[in-house]
Structure 1
């Protein structure tokens, strides 16, 4: 239990990354983070990402640069037989790849977003959010929908997982039963990153693409 407390605290830092990014898009650059501070932080070099605290520091640094749009970017879209469609964005710091965002939709009731954070050409953190939705009452004229959301946070060292956390919750289009995602506890789960790393490998093979392709 003693070792889990800092991990649970850390999990809150990464909670609801998508919502936090949307809320911060319109915050002025000077909002407590002067541009000079961003430049100084960008110049800092961590010796290694050997534990969760190292990962926390590097994630915070890169996420701040992403929020303030300080990283160069490029990307492509894909359409796999009209069954899976997606978008990929690569983010670079001084020419080095630092993050990859991958969003895709499968048919009409499922979507997923994945964000890989990279240092020295190795993934050190993955945030994944899966969303599936269904009708949940209401009337034909005014239906109510429910999003079932699963979030995964994977902390890694040398492409090897250190710990994997997961939380699940549901959001309804109407009603007062919706939870605050920040209040939903993470739980430690077995680490299975084979599919995620396979997807990441496919994405990297198309890193130079600038237009829509077929399947990854």
Structure 2
């Protein structure tokens, strides 16, 4: 299951092409992947901190490749903040250095999210967030509606430099729900992501000091 998850995550990331609103995942799956082939030959992770969108994509692919291959160490813990917010943090590291943090959580009963923070040399360079707010839909008994928001934030020198967003709705009783991988991203103003580094810092400090209570 972990392999399928990471491969799926790689596909959605590759949708962030130089044409901000163009999704390329379908074409990538039908061709050989020279980057993956090079990674298989090279073996180790890059030590360089990425500073451009292309460099960020390259390192992202490296990290996901090594997660998929089981080459990274992992540690995780679960927390519960007064029953209002609860979740699980997983840290992926190489030689003691964190390269990715996954934060899965839910707030109350109608919102859940998964955030992935990618780190190099203690510097945050990419964040992928997927949040789902669900509600009951009128007209059909027990029918639910998921309002899904995906965000992709590229960072250089700890500041967002390129931000993408994708929104769609999944209905429990529909037969024609959208496929996220075929939907276009929209480039958005990065001002809405100005505090994303602070969110990462909160998670990073619990790497060696986990808590069962609120994340502060």
| C-alpha separation in 1, matches of 2:132 and 2:72 | 28
Residue number in structure 2 paired with 1:156: 155
SS in 2 for 1:174: coil
CA positional deviation for 1:146: 1.2
Is the contact between residue 21 and residue 187 of structure 2 (CA under 8 Å) also seen in structure 1? no
- CA 1:107–1:151 in 2, change beyond 3 Å: closer, same or farther? same
1:29-108 → structure 2 map (5 Å cutoff) = 40-43=41-44, 45=46, 47-108=48-109
| C-alpha separation in 1, matches of 2:20 and 2:188 | 17
Residue number in structure 1 paired with 2:208: 208
Residue number in structure 2 paired with 1:19: none
SS in 1 for 2:18: helix
1:3-22 → structure 2 map (5 Å cutoff) = 6-8=17-19, 12=23
CA positional deviation for 1:71: 0.9
Residue number in structure 2 paired with 1:27: none
1:172-187 → structure 2 map (5 Å cutoff) = 172-187=171-186
Moved more, 188-197 or 85-94: 188-197
| C-alpha separation in 1, matches of 2:200 and 2:25 | 20
Is the contact between residue 47 and residue 120 of structure 2 (CA under 8 Å) also seen in structure 1? no
CA positional deviation for 1:91: 0.3
SS in 1 for 2:46: coil
Residue number in structure 2 paired with 1:147: 146
Q: Moved runs in structure 1, 4+ residues, more than 4 A?
A: 36-40
| C-alpha separation in 2, matches of 1:99 and 1:79 | 22
| C-alpha separation in 1, matches of 2:89 and 2:22 | 25
What number of residue pairs does the alignment pair up? 193
| C-alpha separation in 2, matches of 1:13 and 1:42 | 26
| C-alpha separation in 2, matches of 1:43 and 1:10 | 32
Moved more, 147-156 or 202-211: 202-211
CA positional deviation for 1:85: 0.6
Superimposed CA distance per residue, residues 71-113 of structure 1 (whole angstroms, 9 cap, x where no aligned partner): 1011222111110111111100122110000111000100111
Residue number in structure 1 paired with 2:195: 195
Which protein has greater RCO, CA pairs closer than 8 Å, 6+ apart? 2
Using structure 2 for the length normalisation, give the TM-score. Answer: 0.78
1:96-135 → structure 2 map (5 Å cutoff) = 96-135=97-136
Cα RMSD of the aligned pairs, angstroms, is: 2.8
Q: Which runs of 5+ in 1 are unaligned?
A: 16-31
